[in-house]
Structure 1
């Protein structure tokens, strides 16, 4: 009996592994048949009197061998992600643009049309690797835009580890049929996606142009939190897209600068973003959008990219407003996603040394998956003299930035997830602060002592406190919220409208950590059944309307919404986004005073 119970339990565990690994469904059938075969064989030997420990051991070995071969031979295929969740979606009418004719697909209730996988530039492969994006190719006939394009080249874990992270970390894993595949990844990734309402009305609609985050090294626009169906239902057109990442997007070398007709290198991912924005400006009218009413938006590295687009001379006149969530590069010395040209060159040298080549031209012959293995740090933009011509803060001081209004803000626990592996104690606390503050670490430790009470929402919930919690508070301000403080101050001085939020809502998934606001603001809570409650959905309704109102008018306020006061020299409160929505004092005001001292010391 124990033999049969063991076979059944092992088979159940095996089927679970197959599900988490996204193996094709035939693997389940083979696994169950193998188990049944072993049980039948054992019964046969038992009835014939030949059952023994050796027989049982042999059957176990055979079962595990079949399981292993089955696991390896039924791995999930690579394919593109469907544009909508509903099966066999209805096809839209033909849309004509300069490249050719195309169709999209409808979502389930026909309220939104999705055009996915539209090429906005030529594939950056072969000789076009490490070059500015080129104009896209045209096509004959009608292109079916019903799948997202491939994700950009990036490191990623295998499906089993990814599934476990969604179970243990995100708590949002769902068992469903039809997801037995791995999303296609390719250098040929320069595609965009358009979400447009079915009933657009007579007037061209405002456009939200969204740049995904991921430290400029990961991310893909098919991600559910970036889908724009719900915002489109509110009367805007939502666009997102892929751009080159990591070494493909931010590798820097003088020989590339010399060969470029624009004298640029190191900002290929940023130039992809600009090319996508130009494409939208040139073509969005065909989808019902107004090219003169584009709002650029992004979160994390996407927000840093929004900040870069605001200062780039290449984007003047291509957009009106900006939405930036949890990042920026306007500090004197940005803490991430931006570096000096010399730093970029040093990392480029590492790439060539690793692969034993003397020129960037030789790097173009190395397979993309091998190039991904580079240990160099390629997660930052640089001053290339073309896309970015100077330190961003200098452009703001001159008043030459482009945004006409800004909606921006940050979350309660921005840095916590990034510091999970950091061991902080009262003994090394100041030393850890010094990594980001130099000689001003002691001053920060006085403002946020190592035994500071834990923050949750805007309130103190753990009176004991510990060094790790204190470090989280300090680095959340350093890495993420400080850039918004500086950004707003520049715009206040320019009399440009700006609105700042502080997201503190807790929940059972991302909570108020980094990126926790995304499914609220872009209307994708429903994609995580059981993890959000009525209060979450109520907050999401309000946040979506704030975002849409801002895209329409440059002011998030509207009928029935809690008042969101504009920042000014006399008004420095933030809008707290939580179960109760209200204006509150910035919890980081005293921290910013210390960071200001350090930042000023970097340019003196």
Structure 2
């Protein structure tokens, strides 16, 4: 690598001469420290040296998706010059987002202790949340510097297609060219993982020890990848944080959504192919069209649902139905959730939910639980289990158990029942953030700054106090250990044993972290009485 960087510098030395040339005539060690260069399969990229870590941002792993909208991604064309990898690439077009947006969005980012082949470091690939509609790999909370420093690991984040760009299913409307359009975003992730397999060794990583981890929608995407044949063999550990995908959207429901979306754009099903030429801004404006399956407000949804599709092309079975996918049985897995998911998921946009009366709770449960169960029965049972809970506390606890935690239980149970499967480790984050006088407790997204050891990021939900730093040390250390060996046990924490149907062993992360058997078991049994329906199914 120093020779590549040296060739470029020698040309500059000859052109500049004198003092400027002398300034550029650095030793190979100084040159590498200032700007590391790595040769990938497609060309050379130049990163930066920050806080003792080599950082590469905005590396292209796929070609511009605009010319092939709604179709499988393609690898990028090779380049001969050295591309600067110093800033994040554009995010997929989406609403309510301030980063640069473009259909040319297939970029990834790498943090490594040393950008040099032969490092043999575990690779931690993070898939961002935001359901299947929002987000990017460039969020400050996902900066991999501290993980790379703490664990001597290589960290990767990435962008991919979202919402209609990644999941508009046209297979039954626009012909064979669009047979895989409902899973274009999943295929982007597969292409990114192929890039990791083919290139990460040049950055000091081990392509045979690739761990996926992701929160919320990122966890759901990982669960989907575990059942996606094209992803088989591309990763070797998986950790989902408050994100599960038991079932995908069926092709008929996905077609109904596509038809509603096309109608909002002024297109009939017979003209479905024309959507490939509709301006990007117009495509975004139609995303909030009422969902024909759930409807606006139905199951707590707003606008059309976007997610993976059982298209019999990319996805030939549901991710975790009727059982755990056999293709990933040998992959060790972590399945985690936070104790108070919906205090932010729902309460973050509806402050009134923090001051409910008992009379208001049943109607709100009906809207937000996403399972068909008598809300009066739920209130009665929670008041029996937790007589000191306020109406708002019952609402948040029941919606967390019925809506956000239920799928995690299902996936853990199916993995535990799988003959000869690799271990599955369950966790529950109980530690509550002190932010806003502690009103959020342990909400959705709180585990992100803790796992990344990024409590110092401005406005981090965790804050950056002593308790947050202690929790970040524990959780990031466990994830690093899992990336390295497939076992999350590390010095200084209680023994974390795999989840079984007999014990339902769960690591409860708190200032006094402990392994518990079947935490919130009564809540689990209450909701196990009724079938679970994945959002969008």
Deviations 1:546-598 (A, max 9, x none): 00000111111123333222222333232121211112344432222232231
Equivalent of 2:451, from 502, 515, 521?
A: 521
Q: Is the 8 A contact 2:227 2:325 kept in 1?
A: no
Deviations 1:240-281 (A, max 9, x none): 1011111111111235662338x3231111111111111111
1:389-408 pair list within 5 angstroms: 389-394=316-321, 396-397=323-324, 399-402=326-329, 404-408=331-335
CA–CA distance in structure 2, aligned partners of residues 483 and 255 of structure 1: 29
- Consecutive unaligned residues in structure 1, runs of 5 or more: 1-88, 158-181, 454-462
| Cα distance change, pair 486–240 in 1 and its aligned pair in 2 (3 A) | same
CA–CA distance in structure 1, aligned partners of residues 265 and 54 of structure 2: 45
Provide the secondary structure at the position in 2 that maps to 1:599. coil
CA–CA distance in structure 2, aligned partners of residues 534 and 582 of structure 1: 19
Q: Which residue of 2 aligns with 1:362?
A: 274
Matched, 1:482 2:406: yes
**Rg larger in structure:** 1
Equivalent of 1:120, from 36, 44, 61?
A: 61
Equivalent of 2:309, from 382, 402, 405?
A: 382
Provide the secondary structure at the position in 2 that maps to 1:194. strand
CA–CA distance in structure 1, aligned partners of residues 468 and 113 of structure 2: 24
CA–CA distance in structure 2, aligned partners of residues 594 and 504 of structure 1: 21
Give how far 1:363 is off. Answer: 1.6
Q: Which residue of 2 aligns with 1:173?
A: none
Give how far 1:543 is off. Answer: 1.2
Q: Which residue of 2 aligns with 1:95?
A: 38
Give how far 1:533 is off. Answer: 1.2
CA–CA distance in structure 2, aligned partners of residues 92 and 296 of structure 1: 28
For normalisation by structure 2, the TM-score amounts to: 0.81
Matched, 1:472 2:396: yes
CA–CA distance in structure 1, aligned partners of residues 533 and 249 of structure 2: 17
Matched, 1:329 2:255: no
CA–CA distance in structure 1, aligned partners of residues 359 and 174 of structure 2: 47
1:109-508 pair list within 5 angstroms: 109=51, 111-126=52-67, 128-156=68-96, 183-198=99-114, 203-233=119-149, 234-254=151-171, 258-260=175-177, 263-330=179-246, 338-358=248-268, 359-374=271-286, 375-376=288-289, 377-394=304-321, 396-397=323-324, 399-402=326-329, 404-420=331-347, 421=350, 425-435=357-367, 436-449=370-383, 452=386, 463=388, 465-466=390-391, 468-494=392-418, 495-508=421-434
| Cα distance change, pair 573–327 in 1 and its aligned pair in 2 (3 A) | same
CA–CA distance in structure 2, aligned partners of residues 553 and 308 of structure 1: 23
CA–CA distance in structure 2, aligned partners of residues 535 and 201 of structure 1: 38
Deviations 1:9-66 (A, max 9, x none): xxxxxxxxxxxxxxxxxxxxxxxxxxxxxxxxxxxxxxxxxxxxxxxxxxxxxxxxxx
Provide the secondary structure at the position in 1 that maps to 2:135. coil
Q: Which residue of 2 aligns with 1:28?
A: none
Give how far 1:446 is off. Answer: 3.6
Provide the secondary structure at the position in 2 that maps to 1:526. coil
Give how far 1:451 is off. Answer: 10
Q: Which residue of 1 aligns with 2:298?
A: none
| Cα distance change, pair 564–439 in 1 and its aligned pair in 2 (3 A) | closer
Q: Is the 8 A contact 1:451 1:464 kept in 2?
A: no
CA–CA distance in structure 1, aligned partners of residues 100 and 168 of structure 2: 23
| Cα distance change, pair 112–545 in 1 and its aligned pair in 2 (3 A) | same
Provide the secondary structure at the position in 2 that maps to 1:372. helix
CA–CA distance in structure 2, aligned partners of residues 351 and 409 of structure 1: 34
| Cα distance change, pair 133–518 in 1 and its aligned pair in 2 (3 A) | same
Give how far 1:392 is off. Answer: 2.2
| Cα distance change, pair 398–190 in 1 and its aligned pair in 2 (3 A) | closer
CA–CA distance in structure 1, aligned partners of residues 211 and 325 of structure 2: 22
CA–CA distance in structure 1, aligned partners of residues 254 and 117 of structure 2: 48
Q: Which residue of 2 aligns with 1:588?
A: 520
Number of matched residues? Answer: 471
Q: Which residue of 2 aligns with 1:574?
A: 506
Q: Which residue of 2 aligns with 1:31?
A: none
Give how far 1:237 is off. Answer: 0.8
Q: Is the 8 A contact 1:452 1:465 kept in 2?
A: no
For normalisation by structure 1, the TM-score amounts to: 0.73
Give how far 1:141 is off. Answer: 0.8
| Cα distance change, pair 511–518 in 1 and its aligned pair in 2 (3 A) | farther
| Cα distance change, pair 200–569 in 1 and its aligned pair in 2 (3 A) | farther
Provide the secondary structure at the position in 1 that maps to 2:409. helix
Q: Is the 8 A contact 2:119 2:201 kept in 1?
A: no
Deviations 1:66-112 (A, max 9, x none): xxxxxxxxxxxxxxxxxxxxxxx9643321122111111111x3x21
CA–CA distance in structure 2, aligned partners of residues 202 and 125 of structure 1: 37
Provide the secondary structure at the position in 2 that maps to 1:324. strand
Give how far 1:445 is off. Answer: 3.3
Give how far 1:199 is off. Answer: 8.3
Provide the secondary structure at the position in 2 that maps to 1:267. helix
Q: Which residue of 2 aligns with 1:15?
A: none
| Cα distance change, pair 517–200 in 1 and its aligned pair in 2 (3 A) | farther
Give how far 1:306 is off. Answer: 0.6
Equivalent of 2:495, from 563, 584, 598?
A: 563
Give how far 1:192 is off. Answer: 0.5
- Consecutive unaligned residues in structure 2, runs of 5 or more: 1-31, 290-303
Equivalent of 1:536, from 465, 468, 482?
A: 468
Give how far 1:140 is off. Answer: 2.0
